[in-house]
Structure 1
Amino acid sequence: MISYSEKLRLDGRTALVTGGGRGIGLSCCHALAEMGARVVIADVDAAVAKAGQEHLAGHGHAVETVALDVTDPTQVTAVADELNARLGAVDILVNNAGIARSGTAAEETPDELWLNVNDVNYNGVFWCCRAFGRHMVKRRSGAIVNIGSMSGYIVNRPQKQAYYNGSKAAVHHLTSSIAAEWAPLGVRVNAVAPTYIDTPLLGTLEGADKLKPDWLRDTPMGRLGEPHEIASVVAFLASDAASLMTGSIVLADGGFTCW
C-alpha cells in the first residue's frame, strides 16, 4: 500500500539552496528542512547566509551554510565536489539565486546590465546544474529544481525588462533540455515559474511601488505571491511525490498568465 505522506518526506537526503539566505530561498530551506532534509544554505553574502541560518535555528532547524558565487564556475565546481565528498551526497539542488532588474528599454540596455543579469540568472543555473548534476548522474539519483519566472512566458507590463525576461526563458528551456538528457540516468530536473513575490528582491525593481497596482490588476487573484507559496511547490518537486515529473515548468502565478 502506498503511503502518500511518506512520499513527501525527505529524510536522509541533503539539499542545497542557492541564494538561500532570504526571500524565496530561505522559505525553500525552511520547507525542505521541515520535510526532513539536511539543508545547506549557499549564498554569495556570508552575513545573509548566517542570518538565514539563525532564523531557521529559531524554528528548530539546524542547517549549514556555504559561501557560493554562482557566477564563478570554478568555485561552484569546488563547492559541489567538497560537499559531495564530505556529506556523502547532495541529493537535491535548488537553483534559486537570481537578480531582478527592470526599467531599461532594450535599445538602451548597457552591456554590463545584460551580462550581469544573465551571468547570475542563467549562467549560474547552468554552472550549478553541471557541477552538482555530474555527481547525481554518477549515483543515478537526484532532483534539481530551478527557479524560473512567469516572465519566461510573458512580456511583463508596463515595465521594460527584456534582459530579465530572456534570462528566465533561457532557464526554462535549459531545464527541459537537461531533464531530457538526465531522465534515463535517474535525475529529475524541473522548474517553478513564480509571479511577483513579496520579497526584498521585488523592491529592487525600479518604480515597484508605482507599478504594483498594474501588477495586481493583471492578476486574477488580485495579490502578490508569498515566498512560502513557492517553497511548497519546490519541496513537492524535490520529493518522491513528483517522481513522474521531469522537464516540467510549474506556473505559480495567481492566474497572471490566464489573461
Structure 2
Amino acid sequence: MTGLFDLTDRTVLVTGAGSGIGQRVAVGLAEAGADVSCVDLAAQRTGSEETADRIRAVGRRAAVIDADVTDADSVEAAVAAHESELGALDGAVNCAGVNHGAHAEEMDVADFRRVVDVNLTGVFLCCQAEGRRMLDRGRGAIVNIASMSATIANRGLWQAHYNSSKAGVKHLTTTLALEWGTRGVRVNALSPGYIETAMIAGPEWTDKKEGFARDTPLGRMGTPDDLVGPVVFLLSDAASYVTGADLLADGGFTGW
C-alpha cells in the first residue's frame, strides 16, 4: 500500500521553494523519493540553496532555478531548466505567493494588482508552462496552493486582494482539471488553514495567532510539516482518480 505514495525517480518543480511552506514541501517530496527543482526569485536564492542542500541530504537530486512567476518568459525558462537538469517534468507544486493587510476602502490598487498578479496570474503562467510539457507526454500532476481563504473571508484580517486571488486559484484549478483530464494531466488545489510561518512571526501577530488556534477545531495552528502528506498524496498514484479537488488542510476551521 505504501507504494501508492512513492515518488521515487519522479521529478517535481516547486515554486516558492526558498522559504516557508514551499521549502518544507520541496524537502518532503524528496523524502518521498522525488528529485526536486527549487524555483524562487533571485532574491530568495540563499533560501533556495538551503532547500536544495536539504534535498541532497536525503539522497535526491536538486536544482536551484531563479524565476519570477509573474513573467511568462521567466516561467517558461524555469520549466526548461528543470527538464535540462532533472529530466522530464512529472509533477509541480505552485506555491509562490504574497500577502499583506489593508482595509478594502483604503487599499492601493497597485497592491491589489500585485497580490493578484503573483497569486493568481503567476499560478496560471506556471500551470500553462508545466501543462504544455505534461500534455505533450500525456501524463503529469499539478498541485496549486490555494487557501481556506478561497472558501471563507477571514475574521479580523483585511485582505480582499488575497482572498480574491486564492478563490481564483481554486476555480482555475477546477477549470484546468476539466480541460486536461482526458489528456492525462491531473490538477488539484491544496487549501491550508492557519499555518505557522515566518510571515506571521512578529509580536504583532501574537494575539491573532492565539485566536487562530482557539478557533480551530483541532486546537492548534498548522505547520508546514502538516502540508507535506497532502501534497505527496495529490502528486502520487494514490490520487490517480482525484482531479479538480480542493483539499482543505485547515484543522477543521471551515467546518464551523
Corresponding position: 1:130 with 2:90: no
Residue among 187, 190, 200 paired with 1:189:
187
Aligned to 1:100: 99
Matches within 5 A, 1:141-180: 141-180=139-178
Aligned to 2:218: 221
When structure 1 is superposed on structure 2, of 143-152 and 60-69 the one drifting more is 60-69
Corresponding position: 1:27 with 2:32: no
The AA in structure 1 aligned to 2:227 is: I
CA distance in 1, matches of 2:52, 2:87: 21
Aligned CA distance change for structure 1 residues 138 and 200 (closer, same or farther; 3 Å)? same
Deviation sequence 1:182-217 (CA, Å, 0-9, x none): 00000000011001111112337x942231222222
Corresponding position: 1:13 with 2:10: yes
CA distance in 2, matches of 1:252, 1:74: 32
Residue among 230, 234, 245 paired with 1:248:
245
CA distance in 1, matches of 2:117, 2:204: 24
Corresponding position: 1:115 with 2:118: no
The AA in structure 2 aligned to 1:88 is: G
The AA in structure 1 aligned to 2:97 is: G
Say if 1:21 and 1:53, in contact at 8 Å, map to a contact too.
Answer: no
Q: Identity across aligned pairs (percent)? A: 44
RMSD: 1.6
When structure 1 is superposed on structure 2, of 69-78 and 81-90 the one drifting more is 81-90
Residue among 205, 229, 233 paired with 1:232:
229
5+ residue gaps in structure 2? none
Aligned to 1:76: 75
Q: Aligned residue pairs: how many?
A: 254
Q: Secondary structure at the match of 2:37?
A: strand
Q: Secondary structure at the match of 2:198?
A: coil
The AA in structure 2 aligned to 1:53 is: A
Say if 2:148 and 2:254, in contact at 8 Å, map to a contact too.
Answer: yes
Say if 2:63 and 2:82, in contact at 8 Å, map to a contact too.
Answer: no
Aligned to 2:64: 65
Give 1:86 deviation, angstroms: 4.9
Aligned to 1:211: 208
